Structure 1
Amino acid sequence: MVDLTEQEKAALRHAVKMLAEVMEEIGWETRLIDLTETQVLTLAEVCVGGFQDAMLATAKGDDTEVPF
């Protein structure tokens, strides 16, 4: 198990919210095996993109100076 930072946990929560939006469109009753390839790829893209966006937003808010 990986020990996630608070920023990573927040980014995962954001990614799950984005996933939920796509699942609303697909339908929560749809079994994973019944998803099309396009739907699976969309879910993956939304999750990864949401995580990356949230991490980037956190990094932009960090005023830590580079030590060189």
Structure 2
Amino acid sequence: MVDLTEQERAAIRAAMRRIAEAMDDIGWATRLQDLTEPQVLTLIEVAVGGFQDAMQAIARGQPVEELPF
């Protein structure tokens, strides 16, 4: 397990919004084993992109938007 910083934890929480949006398109009832390769790649891309964008915002001292839960 990776020992994450508070900034990295915040970036992960911020990336969840993009992942949730992708899952809305895919369908929340879709089982992981039923995902197509393009769907899996999309989930990975939005997760990594959301994380990177949030980390850049944190580095600039800007607030990151997180899910309200």
Query: Shorter-chain TM-score: which interval?
Result: 0.7 to 0.9
TM-score (norm. length: structure 2):
0.82
Question: What 5-or-longer segments of structure 1 have no aligned partner?
Answer: 63-68
* Cα RMSD for the two superposed structures: 1.3
Percent identity of the aligned residues? 69
Cα distance in 2 between the residues matched to 1:49 and 1:2: 19
Quote the residue 2:30 is aligned against.
30
Quote the residue 1:12 is aligned against.
12
Cα distance in 1 between the residues matched to 2:27 and 2:2: 31
Question: 1:36-60 CA deviation, whole Å, 9 max, x = no partner?
Answer: 1111100000000000000001111
Tell which structure's C-alpha radius of gyration is larger.
Answer: 1
Question: What 5-or-longer segments of structure 2 have no aligned partner?
Answer: 63-69
Count of aligned positions: 62
Instruction: Give runs of ≥4 in structure 1 deviating > 4 Å.
Output: none
TM-score (norm. length: structure 1):
0.83
